Structure 1
Amino acid sequence: MSVDLTTAPATAPALPGGGLTATMYREYCLLTRNRTNLLLSIVPSAVYLLLFATSLANLVGEVEYGGRTVPYSEFAVPAVLLSSMLAAATTAGTSLFQERMGRMDVELWSYPLGRASYVLGKLLASTLLILAQSLAALLVAITVFDFRWPASHWAAVLCVTAVASMAFNGLYLLLATLFSDFRRFSVTINIVAPVLLFSSPSFYPVDRMAPVLQWLSWANPVTYGIRGIREGALFGFGAVWPWLLVLVGIAAVTVPLLGRSLVVRAREL
């Protein structure tokens, strides 16, 4: 008897602990059983901050942002967090692509594990990894730099980081479903991150960017992540809502498209 896996239900009878829990546990095992990959996924953002402490932060000094003069270290920390976020999203996208090429994705999100649990499990596991990266980076920032952010500002940074993580992981996972050739996918996904990062007001204020880049930055989703984290750090929750709503909108559109794209690709088997 043949079974059309693409028509499997989006949700399925619960596994022990639930399908979502099982998927997240699988992602956790894949990450932690290779200690080298675990360290490489968490440490880089802390290393970047140390480099800023000894080089660019001392070179630039202070910048004007939002009517305030702030140390460049405070200005640049959100860009470091976004850089790590894009690196983690790249890893998540590559993982999904490899599972697609091995037909593992269809096996996993067919019965008894629904594709909704499969997609959300990957998104939540990547989000938790990014929050761990961010906490490690912020602990280094507290140690190295003279930050005096109120507790509510730290909470705003972590809140925007979590939402931005869902949005960017969704975008990268969606991108992973649009390719069938590994070399093209690898080249594209490794080019996208630096292009998105450096065509946004990441390490420089938007008014210092070239006019063309200023216009392009408004179509760049990384701009909204950086602005949200930066304004959460400097001004608190009251300033982050416009950027947070944009990021929620990106996640709300991307996740259903990701699930649909997985089904379309599965039907091509």
Structure 2
Amino acid sequence: MTHTADPRAETEQGVRRFGAVNWLGMWTLALRETRRFAAVWTQTLLAPLVTAGLFLLVFTLAVGTNRGDVMGLPFIHFLAPGILMMTVIQNSFANVSSSIVISKVQGNIVDTLMPPLSATELLVGYLAGGILRGVMVAVAISVLMFPFIGLGVANPLMALVWVALGGAFLGALGIIAGVFANKFDQMAAITNFIVTPLSFLSGTFYSIEGLPPLMQALSHANPVFYLIDGLRSAVLGVSDSSPWLGFAVVSASTAFVCAIAWWMFRTGYRLKS
């Protein structure tokens, strides 16, 4: 007499039929997040490119040659990596947070939570879209705009690592913000009062060497400062602090916010109620 395995017992033990990792489900979520921003590329890719170009143009026209060198470099060259990273992190944050908030407002977040996806798979799927959007924006800016100001990239591989780290850090923050916010005005408040100050007050437009001691200390407590400083080191070969210290700080900060985002997915905080 032969016995067949009871599929209910397999489910009760928490063993999924497709193995330890739902690769297909995770890939599908990442693909959905990518197609979501690619479908409106004029808003998600072209608009950030234009905004970054306007920043460079305005500073070039307003400051021009009147501004002396910064860290031994022309001011516009010093400024470019900061604007690039600022654009990357803002778009990575917006991609993830808007996806979650829109799903919650429209009531279809259940379509993402119901499939057999673990908290880790949800985290990776959402982050993939945010990181990819940030990388695509960074590549567009460096290829289309840097040549116009006579700027190259000293270490392209390290620049890509910093861009990916920035996308992961702000993407995870975007998950936290998207889960926490229930309305678009709450999301706008988080963007205006947290994300924008973090990116603007982080050495994007200036070297922190010229700041008072208190402001320097506050800048060193801001992980976004290390993102901008690290990318500046990869692009220009100069930085305000050690790139290795920055890499350690950003990696630890990214792991911390990813852990919070994972916990939110794991417990269903503000998602399943």
TM-score (structure 1 length as normaliser): 0.82
Distance 1:16 1:116 in 2: 10
Choose the corresponding residue for 1:135, options 139, 157, 172. 139
Q: Deviations over 1:192-232 (max 9, x none)?
A: 23311232222111122243322211221211111111122
Say whether the 8 Å CA contact 1:23–1:121 is kept in structure 2.
Answer: yes
Letter in 1 for 2:142: L
Matched, 1:253 2:256: yes
Distance 1:175 1:145, change over 3 A: same
Choose the corresponding residue for 1:33, options 16, 33, 39. 39
Distance 1:144 1:115, change over 3 A: same
Distance 1:10 1:116, change over 3 A: farther
Distance 1:120 1:149, change over 3 A: closer
Where do 1:117-196 residues align within 5 Å? 117-150=121-154, 153-196=155-198
**1:268, distance to aligned residue in structure 2 (A):** 5.3
The DSSP-based 3-state class of the residue aligned with 1:62 is coil
Q: Deviations over 1:76-129 (max 9, x none)?
A: 112101221232113421222222334433431333333322221121111111
Structure 1 residue aligned with 2:9: none
Matched, 1:20 2:26: yes
Structure 2 residue aligned with 1:60: 67
Structure 1 residue aligned with 2:200: 198
Distance 1:227 1:28, change over 3 A: same
Letter in 2 for 1:260: W
Letter in 1 for 2:120: A
**1:131, distance to aligned residue in structure 2 (A):** 1.0
Structure 1 residue aligned with 2:214: 212
Q: Could you say what the CA RMSD is over the residues aligned between the two structures, in angstroms?
A: 3.0
Distance 2:110 2:159 in 1: 36
Q: Deviations over 1:167-193 (max 9, x none)?
A: 121122212222334323322222323
Q: Which runs of 5+ in 1 are unaligned?
A: 1-8
The DSSP-based 3-state class of the residue aligned with 1:18 is helix
Q: Deviations over 1:106-158 (max 9, x none)?
A: 431333333322221121111111111111111234321222544xx222222
Q: Who wins on radius of gyration, i.e. which is larger?
A: 2
Distance 1:181 1:40, change over 3 A: same
Choose the corresponding residue for 1:85, options 84, 88, 97. 88
Structure 2 residue aligned with 1:45: 52
After superposing the two structures, state which structure 1 stretch, 127-136 or 82-91, moved more: 82-91
Distance 1:125 1:114, change over 3 A: same
Q: What is the percentage of aligned positions where both structures have the same residue?
A: 19
Distance 1:267 1:227, change over 3 A: closer
TM-score (structure 2 length as normaliser): 0.80
**1:56, distance to aligned residue in structure 2 (A):** 3.4
Distance 2:40 2:260 in 1: 31
Q: Which runs of 5+ in 2 are unaligned?
A: 1-13
Say whether the 8 Å CA contact 2:86–2:204 is kept in structure 1.
Answer: no
Distance 2:152 2:98 in 1: 38
The DSSP-based 3-state class of the residue aligned with 2:131 is helix
Say whether the 8 Å CA contact 1:170–1:254 is kept in structure 2.
Answer: yes
**1:16, distance to aligned residue in structure 2 (A):** 9.5
